[in-house]
Amino acid sequence: MRKEYDFSKGKRGAVVPVPKGKTRITIRLDDDLLEWFKAQVDAAGGGNYQSLINTALREHMKSANEPLEKTLRRVLREELRKAS
């Protein structure tokens, strides 16, 4: 490293601050899972795969609290729409 670099006023940590309501974590995901999310973002014309993962997790969280009857009705409506 060059001697003329002065890091005496440098700060450690993230360059971009984490927005309020968000928490920075480290998570290990299977390679194929991560590639799938990245491919979905590319197919959509861009975006952030991390936001897509966040949305998928939020949807799962909502559906986990959904009663079975409501889930079945929703799935049937979606499938009937596809069939017509």
pTM across the whole model: 0.59
Over residues 16-67, the pLDDT tens digits come to 788 899 988 899 999 999 999 999 999 999 999 999 999 999 988 888 888 8
More confident of the two residues 83 and 40: 40
Find out whether 22 and 28 touch, Cβ atoms under 8 Å.
no
Q: What is the DSSP letter of 18?
A: P
1 pLDDT above the threshold of 70: no
Find out whether 41 and 47 touch, Cβ atoms under 8 Å.
yes
